[in-house]
Amino acid sequence: MTHFYAYNPRSATAESEPYAESSEAEIDAAVRAATAAAAAWASAGGTARAALLECLARALETSREELVSLADRETALGVQRLNGELDRTAFQLRRFASLCRAGGPFEAVDDPAVGGAPPAGHPPMRRLRVPLGTVAMYAASNFPFAFSVLGGDTASALAAGCPVVIKAHPGHPALSRRTWALAQSVLAELGLSTGLIGLVQGSSPAVGLALVRHPAIAAAAFTGSTRGGVALWKEAQARPVPIPFFGELGAINPVLVWPAAQTDELADALAASITLGCGQFCTKPGVIVLLQGADTAAFVARLGTALAQQQPHPMLTAGMREAFVAGVKRQLAHGAKTLVQEADTAQARRPFLAEVPAATFIAEPELREEVFGPSSLVVHAGGAAEAADALRALGGSLTVTLHGLTDDAEGRATLQAAMAVAGRVLFAGVPTGVAVTAAQQHGGPWPATTAPQTTSVGDAALERFLRPVCLQDAPDWVWRALPT
């Protein structure tokens, strides 16, 4: 039996307690149990689905002290941040519960019969959506509640009528197992199959690969690194029966700042955003594109001063620390000039800031790779056209933020460039912080995601796990048999 060990970010050492890695037989058993529960759950109405989601939210809140303590020990994210994240996770569960009660997963398009021959004439038709089936859910490291065992992917899949088998993140195994145990208790109390929410774990790629390869898995949802996500996505497409793979991968999240918006207040806000969560947010502003103005030098100096004063907590895993160091070295090796680089310790990574001309940024692909951690790259553009070229060179991103955009030809062209590469375009504030709302779009063109037409946050997240079906000339009993 293979074992792995949790990482203690505060001491930068491995914990002594071993965790058993799930075997192929255990993965198979979890998927089979979920699949056995699939038909009954797909037939469950909105009230039953909502009841489960609401009970899961209450279970998290009831066990708050225990869960936050476990999460802080394994992630060093701090109890204030973790309490807020637990609140967000409970909110997500309840929001999808409200969608179920309102009938969101069961919405249909009725097309009454029209007399005559096609194409104008047609029999009565109704287009509705049905659950895909068992979903493999890959938990993220940087959000141990909100993008983990009972996070948004799990909540939206359950709301859509799909069972889930969760690949727990090895960065917080004790928390994952305890959260899953709570879910199992809730399922048992409600008289539901405990197979509806399965869990597998392990630090080796073999566990994740075995899960996505299982023939009974109907879809997969992933939040994490580009490298890991692409590997799983390729496996999903290489199966004898390919499946949808909804991967949220790396993102640079450029911030474009026109001269009039280059203020001390924005510099301070960006410094805080860059280091929030030690820069381990998928929406961290990794590139700041500045159009040159009279105060640009002062803005960069203020940003550097504010960034140097930040005190990020330790990074989540040893692998992330190593990748951050490698990313900084890569930028320096390809033309970036250091502005801020504080001394590091074994436990923490200090902020890093560098700058580069836009022409170099566009010419050097290595400068456009994500550096996951408390760092950002200032790109100096000669004008709006060059700033737009920098955006296009970056490719897909979860967000683009535009400060000081003007209502003129250059402003409109820049807006079009931003909308072409981002899932969310901001005109104020910073990109970190993703609200769970009806209009939210947390996705973007490749390489930000593998499915840019979907979102992993917000009400529309459940649409990932529903497949359209048209029923034509159906008798009345069919409508009575469908869940509502």
* Residue numbers annotated as active site: 248, 282
In the chain, the N- to C-terminal Cα span, in Å, equals 45
Distance CA 478, CA 471 (A): 9
Nearest residue to 277 via CA among 65, 166, 92, 434: 434
- Residues with Cβ within 8 Å of residue 187, at least 6 apart in sequence: 52, 193, 194, 196, 197
Closest CA to 4 of 202, 205, 210: 202
Cis peptide before 240 (omega within 30 of 0): no
Phi first, then psi, for residue 402 (nearest 5°) are: -120, 110
Please state the φ and ψ torsions of residue 187, each to the nearest 5 degrees.
-60, -45
Q: Which residue is associated with the tokens 């000039």?
A: 337
Contact indicator for 5, 171 with CB cutoff of 8 Å: no
Q: List the one residue out of 259, 214, 269, 266 whose CA is nearest residue 239.
A: 214
Distance of CA 107 to the CA centre of its chain: 26
DSSP, res 424: E
434 contact partners, CB below 8 Å, separation of at least 6? 283, 440, 442, 457
- Separation CA 176–CA 381 (nearest Å): 45
Q: Do the beta carbons of residue 127 and residue 469 sit within 8 Å? A: yes
256 Cβ contact partners less than 8 Å away, ≥ 6 residues apart? 289, 291, 387, 391, 400, 401, 402, 403, 405, 414, 418
Nearby residues of 478 by Cβ (< 8 Å), 6 or more positions away: 471
Q: What is the largest CA-CA distance in the chain?
A: 78
User: 389 is written with which tokens?
Assistant: 């070229």
